[in-house]
Homo-oligomer: A and B are copies of this chain.
Amino acid sequence: MTNFKAYYTEKYGLNETQFEEIKSLVTYKKIEKGAFLLHPGEICQHSFFVEKGLLRSYTIDEQGKEHIIQFAPENWIISDRSSSFFNEPSEFYIDAIEDTEFILIDTTFIQKASELSTSFRQFNDRALQNHIRSLQKRINLLIGANAETRYMDFITNYPDLLLRVPQWMIASYLGITPESLSRVRKELAKRNFKPKFD
């Protein structure tokens, strides 16, 4: 749980004792690439903190098209907040893009911890606000930016994912077809653009 521990102690300022309390309430798990952690129709009872590997959440629309909501590499938390909070069936899938080790955090635990500890609650609030901010940003991109700009934004914000996520998934996240993304990349290459690490 090294990442998990660092996340809660360094970033959030829990001391050793406080962390030990939390630790006893969560579970360490592993799953293989392709395995599912959440299906539509289920109520999302957990948050998943990624220790190592890569998870994603996505929906499948009426036309059978996949729309990726979020990628969660190391140190990210993924879940369906609405489903958890309102106790409603989720509309998301969550599955593993790579073999993944993660910390399973019970939803009720988060709620209880929020009621007992002010600092935990503040931390949780901050996470909520960050979530809102990122959703808003995504809306702005979808409304205002073309395929190329969205891809450039993705590159600058998630350069590490570029190497780990198949292109068609990035396309799905950006809300375009894999073909379009391929053309965008071709165009960028022609104009001599290369991501830093090439």
Residues of A within 8 A of B (CB): 59, 61, 65, 67, 69, 81-82, 85-86, 115, 118, 121, 125-126, 128-129, 131-133, 135-136, 138-140, 142-144, 175
The one of B128, B140, B143, B175 in contact with A128, judged by C-beta atoms closer than 8 angstroms, is: B128
User: Known contacts being A118-B115, A131-B132, A135-B135, is A140 close to B67, with CB within 8 Å?
Assistant: yes
Contact A144:B67 (CB < 8 A) given known A135-B136, A135-B139, A136-B135: yes
- Whether B140 contacts A139 by the Cβ 8 Å rule is no
Query: How far apart are A136's CB and chain B's nearest CB, in angstroms?
Result: 6
| Residue in B closest to A142 when the chains form the complex, CB atoms | B142
CA distance A81 to B121 in the complex (A): 17
Query: Does A136 lie within 8 Å of B82, measured CB to CB?
Result: yes
- Contact residue among B115, B142, B144 (Cβ-Cβ distance under 8 Å from A143): B142
Q: Complex Cα distance A142/B137, Å? A: 13
Q: How far is the CA of A126 from the CA of B61 in the complex (A)?
A: 27
Give A174's nearest chain B residue, CB to CB.
B143
**B129 x A67 contact (CB < 8 A):** no
Complex Cα spacing A86 to B86, Å: 26
CA distance A65 to B140 in the complex (A): 12
How many angstroms between the C-alpha atoms of A142 and B143 in the bound complex? 7
Asked whether A144 lies within 8 Å of B81 as measured between CB atoms, the reply is: no
Residues from chain B with Cβ under 8 Å of A61 in the complex: 140, 144
User: Which residue from B59, B82, B138 sits with its C-beta under 8 Å from A133?
Assistant: B82
Question: Given known contacts A67-B144, A144-B65, A144-B67, is B132 in contact with A81 (CB within 8 Å)?
Answer: yes
